[in-house]
Structure 1
Amino acid sequence: MDASSPDIADPDEASPALLICEHCDTVHRRRPLARGEVAECARCGAVLERCRGMPAGTMLALVLTALVVFVQATLWPIVTLGLNGQYVAATLWDVIHMMWLDHSQVVAVLAAATLFVFPLCKILVLGWLLLYARTGRRAPGFRRLMVALHHLGPWTMSEVFVLGALVSIVKAHLYFDVIPNPGIYAYAALMLLITVFAGIDLTRLWDDTCDEDAEVAP
């Protein structure tokens, strides 16, 4: 991926097209980025912004797709285990419930939070923001939701779950008849969608939207 570094700007210069590095506080002058380019800090090399290359309407469609896939992944069985002709299918909540009954409450709570609560919150918050961003407006609670979205990012661990589930399925073949169910494929699709969102610079929503209250203010 190509990288570009904006010019270092004078902090006292009044310009709407400035970028501030959140790691070293260096102020840069923003340059237009082509598709696939990344702006890096000239001092510490941290990523300042990425070329989004995707309109808000397209991102909203992806969010709605992710929501549908998320519901399917949660409700559909993940895997079926068979032993001596008896088969048992388990959904995500079946697995969490079994961990809770097996005196692994902490692991059960972490699994429920990282695989259900946090991803669902991220999808709903992002969808709410993009619903207004399509028309260039900021959604109610925009600032607080953008901050919350930033903190939710590291806690959505669907990709870790998919990799762990695939390893477990391979190892379980030594003892059981293992049949992957649609739920695991839905989680795999969700992992791909999350990867797509990870490459989108959502901070551009600050520049692409405006506050309606600020517009009508004298």
Structure 2
Amino acid sequence: MGMGSPETLLVCEHCDTVYRRRPLARGEVATCARCGAELERHHALSVNAMLALILTAMIVFVQANMWPIVTLGLSGQQSSTTLWGVILAMWREEAKVVSVLVAATLFFFPLLKMLLLGWLLWFGKAGRRAPGFVPLMVALHRLGPWTMSEVFVLGALVAIVKAHTYFDVTPDPGIYAYAALTLLITIFAGVDLRQLWDQVPEHAA
């Protein structure tokens, strides 16, 4: 521990212990000696790499919401639906609370998170802070637990297995797109976005 400029100090978010920051090697994680919380980890992805990934995720997101998720067949008849088809069906069946939660956690929150992150990274690649940088970083932190694409994919796979007992079930491209989106979201979940505070300092705004 010691004193220095703000850029060289690291404060634990849980117990407020102050440390002097040092460069981390690949795979290295700094933890608080007092409470054991994670302070910082090595950042393998640059701002440009994260921007490329977020643009890829947005393309996959559009495909996942346009393509059918699954096709059910019974007695020679087939029916397929998209995510929004499921949401609207639940709304019509008086499951309005569930439909709103599904729409929020699988569409609006992930879309908002990708748009906010893309906005910040677009300016960050030029070494500048985006307009509204501080409140947007706070919003991203709050949105983190509410993007639940991975829960949807697991639930859909379980439903497909169970439905196969009664129907002819064919997974459609939408479910594969959501699986790819889940992988991309998982990658971003492991990225410490706090690095943006250091890579785009306040004087560069």
Task: Tell me the TM-score normalised to structure 1 length.
Answer: 0.91
Amino acid at match of 2:62: V
Amino acid at match of 2:174: G
Query: Quick check: 1:63 aligned with 2:54?
Result: yes
Amino acid at match of 2:66: L
Q: C-alpha separation between the residues in 1 aligned to 2:56 and 2:47?
A: 14
Q: C-alpha separation between the residues in 2 aligned to 1:55 and 1:44?
A: 29
**Number of the residue aligned with 2:73:** 82
Residue of structure 1 aligned with 2:196, choices 162, 185, 205 = 205
Task: Tell me the TM-score normalised to structure 2 length.
Answer: 0.97
Q: C-alpha separation between the residues in 2 aligned to 1:64 and 1:215?
A: 24
**Number of the residue aligned with 1:15:** 5
Query: Quick check: 1:172 aligned with 2:172?
Result: no
**Number of the residue aligned with 2:85:** 94
Query: Quick check: 1:40 aligned with 2:36?
Result: no
Q: Bigger shift: 193-202 or 114-123?
A: 193-202
Query: Quick check: 1:137 aligned with 2:97?
Result: no
Q: C-alpha separation between the residues in 1 aligned to 2:175 and 2:204?
A: 47
The unaligned stretches of length 5 or more in structure 2 are none
Q: C-alpha separation between the residues in 2 aligned to 1:83 and 1:50?
A: 52
Amino acid at match of 1:88: S
Q: C-alpha separation between the residues in 2 aligned to 1:204 and 1:30?
A: 13
Q: C-alpha separation between the residues in 1 aligned to 2:30 and 2:189?
A: 16
Q: C-alpha separation between the residues in 2 aligned to 1:121 and 1:48?
A: 27
Amino acid at match of 1:18: L
Count of aligned pairs between the two proteins: 204
Q: C-alpha separation between the residues in 1 aligned to 2:116 and 2:164?
A: 39
Q: C-alpha separation between the residues in 2 aligned to 1:50 and 1:99?
A: 42
User: Offset of 1:55 from its aligned partner?
Assistant: 1.1
Q: C-alpha separation between the residues in 1 aligned to 2:201 and 2:5?
A: 17
User: Offset of 1:210 from its aligned partner?
Assistant: 2.5
Q: C-alpha separation between the residues in 1 aligned to 2:21 and 2:201?
A: 19
Q: C-alpha separation between the residues in 2 aligned to 1:68 and 1:146?
A: 23
Amino acid at match of 2:154: L
**Number of the residue aligned with 2:149:** 158
SS across alignment from 1:22: coil
Amino acid at match of 2:16: D
Amino acid at match of 2:47: A
Amino acid at match of 2:129: R
The root-mean-square deviation of aligned C-alpha atoms, in Å, is 1.2
User: Offset of 1:50 from its aligned partner?
Assistant: 1.4
SS across alignment from 2:194: helix
Amino acid at match of 1:167: V
SS across alignment from 1:202: coil
Identity of matched residues, %: 68
User: Offset of 1:215 from its aligned partner?
Assistant: 5.7
The unaligned stretches of length 5 or more in structure 1 are 1-8
User: Offset of 1:14 from its aligned partner?
Assistant: 3.5
Amino acid at match of 2:118: G
Deviations 1:129-185 (A, max 9, x none): 000111111000000100000000000000000000000000000011100000000
Structure 1 runs, 4 residues or longer, greater than 3 Å off:
none
